[in-house]
Structure 1
Amino acid sequence: MNSNKTFLWLTLLLLFFSCIVFGQGLENRIDSLILKEFNDPKGPGGVFTVTQKGKKVYQKAFGKANLELDVNLNPDNVFQIGSMTKQFTAIAILILEQEGKLNVNDPVSKYIKDYPSGDKITLHHLLTHTSGIKDFTKMKSLSGIAQKEMKPEMMVDFFKNEPVDFAPGEKFEYNNSGYVVLGYLIELISGNTYEDFIQKNIFDKAGMSHSYYASDRKVIPKRAYGYHKKESGYVNKTIISFSVPFSSGSLMSTADDMVKWQNALNKNILLNSQETKKAFQKYHLNNGEEFTYGYGWHLKDINGIGIREHGGSIFGFKSMGVHIPSEDIYVTGFSNCDCHSPTEVTRNIAKLVLENTKK
């Protein structure tokens, strides 16, 4: 072997081992971020996944999927994703707009004739949390229906006559009721149930074969069980009817299915680029002030670089997803105890991976 070939071979070998060490260094740093919060191997835990340009660069599970059966969490466990559901509801509305069945600037009264001030509240207001309608999760009477099976129309009737908090478009205030109304509109306009519409138009098209409208009755393979933490220890999650959060928070998914979701959005599999942009642009209040929410995503930044994120919290579960479009970095964190929040952990992982790509 001549000297040039020897030099080339040694260079390639050094590069190979450098990549391994570099990758292990990143993995160890991500582990340390997670273990600050998810540090009880005998308790419920979480699943964290990192992809870049659609390729998985990190995925691990921590803790137990089921305490009674002493079963460890795995990356393919199914979690309730809470308010990350709003992403799917927003995209479903845009799918209907692309099909010419609605316009996001339509007033609610076009579809629900008797909705109070429905001529002033638009679908855009509902999508951006600027409608001013009462958030049902803040109503004291919620406990009276929490375990009842509620039809979408019944849920809308539950809060629609409450006094509004502000005039439409006057301010941004996160609101679950708006997304329940959107789910009801999806049913009225499409002629399908919300569950069937999401299944056919999103889950099936994106290849999300382990995502569901939540149920405590159905047998769901690899389901992670949800927990609370009390002074005495862990207890099973509070049972609610999923017909109550409905289209604002009742979907279930896996880490890998959420990667498929992000890839489907990136590749315009579900929507054309023009409609997709509507979900990811910032809008303005009546006074011209810009706010940092699109349709189903918070629009923020890490070190001056734009990100799209949304979390979720529902009895027994918390979730978080962060996407950095410029580098196509996608990080998700799921927890099966509402005592553990993946929010800051997921953000910090995204920041770490972003900084890593800039080196």
Structure 2
Amino acid sequence: MRPTRTRMRRAWVAVAAAGLLTAPAVAGSAYGAATPAPSVSAVPSSDGGTDFPQLTPAVDAQLDAAVRQVLSDTKVPGVTVGLWAPGKGSYVRSFGVSDKVTGAAMKPDLGVRIGSETKTFTVTALLQLVDQGKLSLDDPIGKYITGVPNGNRITLRELAGMRSGLYNYSEDPSFDAKITSTFTPQQLLDISFKHPVNFAPNAKFEYSNTNLILLGLVIEKITGRPLHDVINQDVVKAAGLSDRTLFPIGNEFPEPRAQGYTNDLPGGKITNATELSPSWAWAAGAMVSDLQDLRSWAKTVATGTLLKPATQAQRLKTQPIGIIPGDGYGLGIFNVQGWIGHNGSLPGYETLTVYLPQAQATMVIMLNTDDLSNGQEPSTLFGEAVTRIVTPDHLYPGHKPVEPKSG
């Protein structure tokens, strides 16, 4: 078995960018034809930033070529890319295959598991309770959940902002061998709490899925309802999303969907992980969705449609993570070179859903693998390829390669 990759530890602290290769674009299976095009640059805006370009056929063709190149370089089975900006048009393409056995093409209407993008939904549910006056972000977690190390000092705000210091259960050395098991939230906490804390509360940023498990339990305790019901009714339905977006009770995953492939399961071989139970991820990463719902959610979560303005302002107040100057993590959300949102990665799938307020632009990228490419997240490589063309002044993720830190 290959060395452990601590699942879902890769949002977004470990999304190190890689420079794009300059070899000619290669043809591949695509849901939408493309032809080579000359380079097209974004037009400077009056405020000194970069205006989002008109998504003309020439720009579309340039994007096609760039996405095909990354698809070839990374050996990702299939990818869907969506771009939308008011008055600029849209770009929606799928490339490669959704099923390696049948050879069925990847298509824009196929659902995927969204991994850590679930965090944006969980934290939204928490912040709704703040708006309702049922809790405070500065409450200690010990007020609601007993047995948490430093529980009388760690606040809900620090949990949502990844500054608790609690050990990430998915980094436990034995966790890989258990990944196909079914877990309860308490079992996940038990794995974390057998380890000492990594640092004092609020001392620094460190991504930990343990934080979201605790927040999920707080939501259940305050509402008296199962987390899946709170998310599906109070967040998904309230946001106007379809039933294609779902916090499952088990491993529900509506059709049509892309088959997801990983070499991150016991045995280290390429495995179809489509039916893998997401119970090990729960409030940190269990959800499924599709392109159009993620497009809608990107703006909802970035602009705070479901929250009071003051609460949204707290959510978007980011703190540095110590890797990329100027970028940071807020409350269950990041700001990367102006792109606000989150990414997700778990066995079989990766996603990236972000919104750029300056252009009111949305970018959604969905893959049916989580396998790294030369140590890089493929979703990050696609995001960089796309933004290099449409928003070079807001390049995602906007930094040189950085070796991810193990927990």
Please indicate, yes or no, whether the TM-score normalized by the shorter chain is above 0.5: yes
2:124 match: secondary structure: helix
Paired positions, count: 329
What residue number does 1:274 align with?
310
Q: Distance in 1 between matches of 2:136 and 2:167?
A: 23
Which amino acid in structure 2 is aligned with residue 256 of structure 1? Answer: Q
Q: Distance in 2 between matches of 1:126 and 1:233?
A: 35
Cα offset, 1:203, TM superposition: 1.2
Q: Distance in 2 between matches of 1:89 and 1:320?
A: 17
What residue number does 1:208 align with?
241
Report whether the alignment pairs 1:344 with 2:381: yes
Residues 205-251 of structure 1: per-residue CA shift (max 9 Å, x gap): 22221111257754621111101369x99542386431111111111
1:262 match: secondary structure: helix
Report whether the alignment pairs 1:260 with 2:293: no
2:108 match: secondary structure: coil
- Structure-2 change in CA distance of 1:259 and 1:167 (3 Å): same
Conservation of the 8 A alpha-carbon contact between 1:64 and 1:71? yes
1:274 match: secondary structure: helix
- Structure-2 change in CA distance of 1:223 and 1:291 (3 Å): closer
Report whether the alignment pairs 1:72 with 2:105: yes
Q: Distance in 1 between matches of 2:225 and 2:250?
A: 22
Q: Distance in 2 between matches of 1:338 and 1:238?
A: 12
- Structure-2 change in CA distance of 1:70 and 1:163 (3 Å): same
Where do residues 145-294 of structure 1 align in structure 2 (5 Å cutoff)? 145-209=178-242, 210-214=244-248, 217-218=251-252, 220-228=254-262, 235-237=271-273, 240-265=276-301, 268-283=304-319, 292-294=328-330
Structure 2, unmatched stretches of 5+, are 1-53, 373-377, 395-407
Which amino acid in structure 2 is aligned with residue 327 of structure 1? Answer: A
Which amino acid in structure 2 is aligned with residue 194 of structure 1? Answer: L
Q: Distance in 1 between matches of 2:319 and 2:261?
A: 37
- Structure-2 change in CA distance of 1:280 and 1:159 (3 Å): same
Cα offset, 1:94, TM superposition: 0.6
Cα offset, 1:189, TM superposition: 1.4
Conservation of the 8 A alpha-carbon contact between 2:219 and 2:227? yes
2:120 match: secondary structure: helix
Cα offset, 1:309, TM superposition: 3.9
Cα offset, 1:201, TM superposition: 1.1
2:119 match: secondary structure: helix
Cα offset, 1:148, TM superposition: 2.9
Conservation of the 8 A alpha-carbon contact between 1:147 and 1:239? no
Report whether the alignment pairs 1:307 with 2:342: no
More helix by share: 1
Q: Distance in 1 between matches of 2:310 and 2:289?
A: 27
Residues 275-312 of structure 1: per-residue CA shift (max 9 Å, x gap): 12222112479xxx9971101222231xxxx2224221
Q: Distance in 1 between matches of 2:368 and 2:63?
A: 19
**Alignment RMSD, CA only?**
3.0
What residue number does 1:116 align with?
149
What residue number does 2:31 align with?
none
Which amino acid in structure 1 is aligned with residue 220 of structure 2? Answer: E
- Structure-2 change in CA distance of 1:319 and 1:193 (3 Å): same
2:107 match: secondary structure: coil
Q: Distance in 2 between matches of 1:296 and 1:54?
A: 30
Q: Distance in 1 between matches of 2:275 and 2:246?
A: 18
Residues 122-173 of structure 1: per-residue CA shift (max 9 Å, x gap): 1111111110000111102324542332222332233224200000111111
Q: Distance in 2 between matches of 1:33 and 1:226?
A: 23
Q: Distance in 1 between matches of 2:161 and 2:262?
A: 31
Where do residues 4-43 of structure 1 align in structure 2 (5 Å cutoff)? 23-39=56-72
1:347 match: secondary structure: helix
Q: Distance in 2 between matches of 1:134 and 1:245?
A: 15
- Structure-2 change in CA distance of 1:290 and 1:160 (3 Å): farther
Residues 335-358 of structure 1: per-residue CA shift (max 9 Å, x gap): 00223612122233234223599x
What residue number does 2:363 align with?
331
Residues 157-206 of structure 1: per-residue CA shift (max 9 Å, x gap): 33224200000111111111111111121111111111111100111122
Larger Rg: 1
Which amino acid in structure 2 is aligned with residue 334 of structure 1? Answer: M
- Structure-2 change in CA distance of 1:214 and 1:62 (3 Å): farther
Report whether the alignment pairs 1:47 with 2:80: yes
Residue range with higher mean Cα deviation, 131-140 or 22-31 = 22-31
Which amino acid in structure 2 is aligned with residue 224 of structure 1? Answer: A
